Chains A and B, each alone.
Chain A
């Protein structure tokens, strides 16, 4: 439940990026990826985004295009880089992420899948030329 904070950080980051384009009339779309291991919900984020951008002339109606970032781990022992194992336990009907190397069982670092990353921002520029 920290989507409001994320939405507010997102708004500041987008407005900062748009400053370089003083003729921008409107931001059309923001592409964002959310890591599968982060605790940010896309529906909640869209809701908060809509609420906080509603009064902003540049951002009102701006679409959030959210994709999911897959998890990548890297093993400290054998150098494995790739997907994480998921343990299926039919007894509990749970899919548990296993934070160990699927090759050697060693300790792993998570190299992707925890971030909330803006990849690009699309904006409408009014160049002042009649046409």
Chain B
């Protein structure tokens, strides 16, 4: 005889990631390490912003460490390491984001005794990372003017997850004929009261303001 049985369950498949993220956060807090997850579009300047922030942190006597996330390769890792900053590379392979589990392993590989700030560069993507918090103190989303003025309203959900919204490459706004006010207005529509910081990482503009918004200084 066969019979049909229904098992009732309320299981959220994204919950496991959130639980791991909370564990990551507890671990970093216990070691007195402040942390930021830098999400953003491909080529928006995340790595250069991290380089700038790291060097300014060093100048101020802090000890930054960086986790660089990419689908493949170690280009970003080499750049950050060349500055004498402890760095751990994460290749996600088939996945389009770092999740809390990958972050946990990268944190294990980092010498936590030698850092007091952890910057995580997520995979360039304005969609998937939104579903996967890593357990950092702050999350920021970076876009740049070269992607056009419609990036925020095309990807509203990830900006809701952002404590800080960064608009980079402001020096190119004129050439690209992009109105920064449109981007700022969209940021305020999807995330009212958000902190929007305009930067020009190439020339070091707006970096300290960004660090302050991220609670790093």
Contacts and interface: CB of A to CB of B under 8 A. Distances in A.
Interface of A: 1-2, 4-6, 9-10, 13, 17-18, 20-21, 24-25, 28, 37-40, 87, 89, 92, 94, 96-100, 105, 107, 110, 114-131
Contacts, number: 120
A17 B150 CA distance: 44
A127 B14 contact: no
B179 interface: no
Nearest to A131: B1
B1 A127 contact: yes
21 contacts: A1-B127, A2-B96, A2-B131, A6-B13, A10-B13, A17-B7, A20-B7, A21-B7, A37-B160, A89-B153, A94-B153, A96-B156, A97-B157, A98-B189, A99-B160, A107-B192, A116-B13, A119-B10, A122-B6, A123-B6, A125-B2
Contacts of A94: 153-154
B191 to A, nearest CB: 6
A13, A105, A128 interface centre (most CB from chain B within 10 Å): A13
Contacts of B12: 115-117
Contacts of A6: 13
Interface of B: 1-16, 94-97, 99, 127-128, 130-132, 150, 153-154, 156-157, 160, 186, 189-193
Contact of B97 (A2, A125, A126): A2
B41 to A, nearest CB: 15
Contact of A97 (B3, B9, B16, B190): B190
B34 to A, nearest CB: 23
Nearest to B125: A1
A128 B1 CA distance: 6
